[in-house]
Structure 1
Amino acid sequence: MSTNALAPPVDIPQAMQNLFPLPLSIIEEFMLADSRPQYPMMADLEMHFQGRIRREPFDAALAQALARAPLFQSVIQTGPKGARHWVRTEQPVPVIWGDENAPLDDAYDAPVDLTAEPGLRVYVRSGETSSSVLLHFHHACSDGMGAFAFIEDFLAAYAQACGDDSVAMRPLEPERLRHRGALGTAGRSAYRGLVDTFIGAREGIRFFLQRPSPLPAIQDPPIAETARLRIRATNGRCSEETTAGLRKAATALNCTVNDLLLRDLFLTMHQWHNQQDGPSTRGQLRILMPQNLRERDDRRMPTGNMLGFAFVTRKRRLCESPQELLRSISHETAAVREGQLSRYFLGGLDALHKAGWLPRVLQGKLCFASAVLTNLGNPLRRFVTRFPRAGSKLKIGDLKLVELTGVPPLRPNTRAVFAVFGSHDKLTLCLRTDPYLYSADDNAQLLNLYLARLDATAAEQAE
């Protein structure tokens, strides 16, 4: 049976206190404007362990991690001129404890009001042999990479609380939070500024002229509110053979594994459309691809948002030519990486925000993307902290970290969000679909279709 608790009081270092009040970045304004009661802008990241989580070291570790992640213990206030800022709050973070298989509570689906409460809820499920910690957080507080930094701090603090003095906390530079919203345009020449303005305007026009098709709805009529509650993400795994085959295919085809993931997701969505609506090559599909904008030294930044969005749009008829589709994707993603083109989308958001149009645009009925694909790689490789190992797993005090899973939020008409986690020998895919339009079985069916497509790509290379 679940029990509710509160995170212990947090002693915030003075360097953190000096940051506040902290102005919102444009990506945080976007996350606020795009959230709504039916589709709260809440993301999930879950730690899976071997062993039982102990309450005392957990409480100490969470308190220490929160002290290093001030946006998880802040609320938003509006100043006299309408500018919004993060301010510190004394409200504790809710922690919900339960047995290993305990269901989530009603608060999981409840919207978070960041003007009145912190944007993090923590669900702990502890059993004799396995346990998990779910971070359920508002995307305005952090992106996935920022949440990984919070997890790294929590794991290090838990190990220390269990008596492991060999684990040291990662270095932290709180001042970097002030620069998390930089658009990368400072110091550019007037000519470069004109070029950037032209490219940004061109990409903005193309974005709104290209109208992608949302994935076909399965449930008609839509699932009732009470029936959809707490439908979680579905997780699946590529086998070692498929994972190795995808890596070999990327090398042979002179592309990246991420290019193959994108190509095969386009093919999967095209197949899904054909299965639900009948064969057709009409229309366009679009995948939203988050891009991490952190530099190497930004690993010292506290938890927060530092990402942009790139959009890859293709006509469905191109899905009939998989190799041509892959070549076009590889060319575009290379340009996105080299030029950090997702910053142009942030610049467009900033212009809409300054004009006062951002909420109106986001709260409309446009389909911005058919699906989201975020490739998070191997989060453990991003850790600065050195943890002892037990075989292939990290040893965290008396626990062993098995894996991390999670998914980004959903928005209307973007009916599927995929997250990919890597390790040395396998890929884990997590999928969340629109809970009003897809059941848990529908969710699994779509994920299996994608996994089968990836299996086929890997098998083709092995032949």
Structure 2
Amino acid sequence: MVSNMPAQDSDKPLFPLPLTPLETFFVLDEKESCPIVSFIELQFSTPLQLPVLQNALNETVKDHPLLACKLVRHGERFFWHFDQDLAPRVLTNEDLPLTTGPANNPLTQPFDLFRESGCRFWYVPAETGSRLYVQLHHACGDGVGMRQVLVGTLTRYARATGDPECGKTSRKSSRSAPNPERLRDRNDFSELLSKPPKRSLTTWDRIRNAYYFHFQRPAALSTPRGSGSTSTQQPPESQAISRPLRHILFSKEESASIEKACSNASIRVNDLAIAMLFQTFEHWEQSHGGGKAIRYRVMMPVDLRSRKDLDLPATNRLSFAFLGRRKDQCQDRDALISSVADEVVAIKETRVHMDFLDGLAAAVQHPRFMRWVIERSRHMTTSVLTYTGDLSRGMKKFFPERNGQLQIGDAYLHNVFGSPPGREGTNVALGVCINWGQICISASWNRQAWDATTTDQFLQTYANNWRAWLERQTIS
């Protein structure tokens, strides 16, 4: 299993801080054409006061120093160096465009982590309110860690715009600020590993898993004719600014029915999401790729945090699990859902996702070999699917609800979305969440292969498969 970091004296300077193996992987695996950058989108029904928001962000980032760091390379190793001048500013489209390139081919702005921090905030006025986008490089943070940043920033904004008691009224909602010194422990999984897995993997299991991962490559989803980076078809909204995420929202009534049907079938919503994604792959390929694909693979992030780790400064405490299916296994919906549910349980019982971190920890000791393997091991997954509900989880403890929205000082927040980055060979990446009783699916895409219109088509097919399953459950 993953070895712990050596003990360090607390009086030693925190920076320069060596990257963990996972953070190093995110740096080495990146290509400028496909940045490893996730987006978080907060939708407000009101405008925000930018100077107040910037002050709130400045104070919050002090608790999360990785968001004000740049990379420095010493030999073959990478280190985080803190620089207060790199703290994120709230940008507008006048400062730096949220997207670049022709209007019909938006390309997400890449980061130069050797010159800037891996976090940007964009404020975008809208016809009915405003949007706040957070662009986050995966090397310096993830959605669960960013929740602390968002709650801290919005709490300070609320106090400054009319709610001085925000965050002070409930013992449950007043958490102490994260201790930056705990960043030293972000690669320490001793608490997790102190309990043995419920089921151990055999040597043969590991050999079979390695063969499956490295030699049974999954299909990349096809690009429909007339779409992709050269397409001129764009939704009307993108004529003003190309949104980095696309969304499908189920109604609250549909969402409640889906959750009830999942409970009756003894599966989780996440199991349904993965199974319906496999079936959507096959439907998509039959319509756009001629059905030539042989196998598909979904990458599912696995959160390794314990409850006390939720107060860590924004950082990565993730591993990844990979679920694969042949095209013929995507036909029988009920068998597919059952097999996915069983496999997710097996992943957690065996902790097979820790083998992924073990491999990175071993590879990082041989940097040239690690670069060689990464360069030859791309196109490893058809899609990424992650649960992004941690962004909004528990927000009602901090902010009062008014007419289905959260009141944050003089502003009203009505939804929070997020999605992992699209990658080379991974043309669509999905984030599923349940925000205040409503199931939301957000998608990012590989800007070199797909466009927003294609992504909308895929999301619609995906949502239709959910609805077809729900209809069958209702009839039966």
TM-score by length of structure 2 reads 0.85
- Looking at structure 2, the residues matched to 359 and 339 of structure 1 have their Cα atoms a distance apart, in angstroms, of 28
CA distance in 2, matches of 1:329, 1:39: 29
Match of 2:450 in 1: 438
SS at match of 1:177: helix
Q: 1:285 aligns with which of 265, 289, 296?
A: 296
- 1:55 counterpart = 2:66: no
2: CA distance, partners of 1:294 / 1:134: 25
CA distance in 2, matches of 1:382, 1:129: 26
User: Is 2:312 aligned against 1:301?
Assistant: yes
CA shift, 1:432, in A, is 1.9
- AA of the residue aligned to 1:40: P
Counterpart pick for 1:262 among 267, 274, 280: 274
C-alpha distance in 1 between matches for 2:118 and 2:166: 28
Q: Does the aligned pair in 2 maintain the 1:60–1:161 contact within 8 Å?
A: no
The CA deviation string for residues 405-463 of structure 1, in whole angstroms up to 9 with x for no partner, is 12211221011101112124311111122222223221111110001111111111111
Q: 2: CA distance between counterparts of 1:219 and 1:68?
A: 48
Map of 1:146 onto structure 2:
145
Equivalent residues in 2 for 1:28-427, closer than 5 Å:
28-79=23-74, 82-92=76-86, 93-97=88-92, 104=98, 106=100, 109-126=108-125, 129-168=128-167, 170-171=175-176, 172-184=178-190, 200-219=206-225, 223=229, 232-279=244-291, 283-356=294-367, 357-364=369-376, 366-377=378-389, 379-383=391-395, 386-427=398-439
Name which of structure 1's ranges 265-274 and 377-386 shifts more when overlaid on structure 2. 377-386
SS of structure 1 residue aligned to 2:359: helix
Distance 1:67 1:324, change over 3 A: same
Q: Deviations over 1:178-220 (max 9, x none)?
A: 222235599769999x968775554323211322111112257
SS of the aligned residue for 1:111 comes to coil
With 442-451 and 172-181 compared, the bigger mean Cα shift is at: 172-181
DSSP 3-state at the match of 2:47: coil
Preserved contact between residue 36 and residue 138 of structure 2 (Cα < 8 Å): yes
> What secondary structure does 1:181 align onto?
coil
Distance 1:50 1:187, change over 3 A: closer
- Distance in 1, matches of 2:60 and 2:203, equals 40
In structure 2, what is the Cα distance between the partners aligned to 1:189 and 1:388?
A: 39
Deviation at 1:19, TM superposition (A): 2.2
Q: Per the alignment, in what secondary structure is the counterpart of residue 354 of structure 1?
A: coil
1: CA distance, partners of 2:119 / 2:232:
23
CA contact (8 A) 2:144 2:390 kept: no
What letter is aligned with 2:26? M
Q: Would the alpha carbon gap of residues 322 and 328 (structure 1) be closer, same or farther in structure 2, given more than 3 Å must change?
A: same
**Preserved CA contact (<8 Å) 2:282 2:291:** no
Distance 1:292 1:336, change over 3 A: same
Q: CA deviation at 1:56?
A: 2.9
**In 2, Cα distance between equivalents of 1:105 and 1:267:** 32
Tell me the CA shift for residue 104 of structure 1.
3.0
1:234 CA displacement: 1.2
Letter in 2 for 1:292: D
> Relative to 1, partners in 2 of residues 1:324 and 1:127: Cα closer, same or farther, differing over 3 Å?
closer
Amino acid of the structure 2 residue aligned with 1:82: E
Q: Name which of structure 1's ranges 323-332 and 230-239 shifts more when overlaid on structure 2.
A: 230-239
**Range with greater deviation from structure 2 (158-167 or 291-300):** 158-167
Deviates more, 1:222-231 or 1:150-159: 222-231
Measured against aligned partners, the alpha-carbon deviations of 1:324-367 in whole angstroms (never above 9, x if no partner) come to 11111111101223444322111112222223222222223642
The answer (yes or no) to whether the contact 1:34–1:362 under 8 Å persists in 2 is yes
Cα distance in 2 for partners of 1:384, 1:87 equals 35
Cα 1:230/1:40, change in 2 over 3 Å: farther
One-letter amino acid of the counterpart of residue 138, structure 1: H
8 Å contact from structure 2 (residues 405, 413) kept in 1: yes
State the 1:51 CA deviation: 1.4
Q: Paired residues, what number?
A: 444
Distance 1:164 1:222, change over 3 A: closer
Of residues 257-266 and 391-400 in structure 1, the stretch that sits farther from structure 2 once superposed is 391-400
- Unpaired runs of 5+ residues, structure 2, are 1-9, 102-106, 168-173, 235-240
AA in 2 matched with 1:307: L
Query: Structure 1 residues 253, 438: CA separation in 2 closer, same or farther (over 3 Å shift)?
Result: same
Q: Greater CA deviation, 156-165 or 124-133?
A: 124-133
Per-residue deviation, residues 8-67 of structure 1 (Å, max 9, x unmatched) = xxxxxxx99942221111111111011111011111111111212112321211111211
Cα distance 1:286–1:127, how it changes in 2: closer, same or farther (>3 A)? closer
Report the Cα distance in structure 1 between the residues aligned to 2:206 and 2:463, rounded to whole angstroms: 35
Structure 2 vs 1, CA of residues 382 and 301 (structure 1 numbering), >3 Å: closer, same or farther? Answer: farther
Partner secondary structure for residue 465 of structure 2: helix
CA RMSD, 1 decimal? 3.1
Structure 2 equivalent of residue 22 of structure 1: 17
- The Cα shift of 1:245 comes to 2.5
Between 453-462 and 265-274, report the one with greater CA deviation.
453-462
Q: Percent sequence identity over matched residues?
A: 27
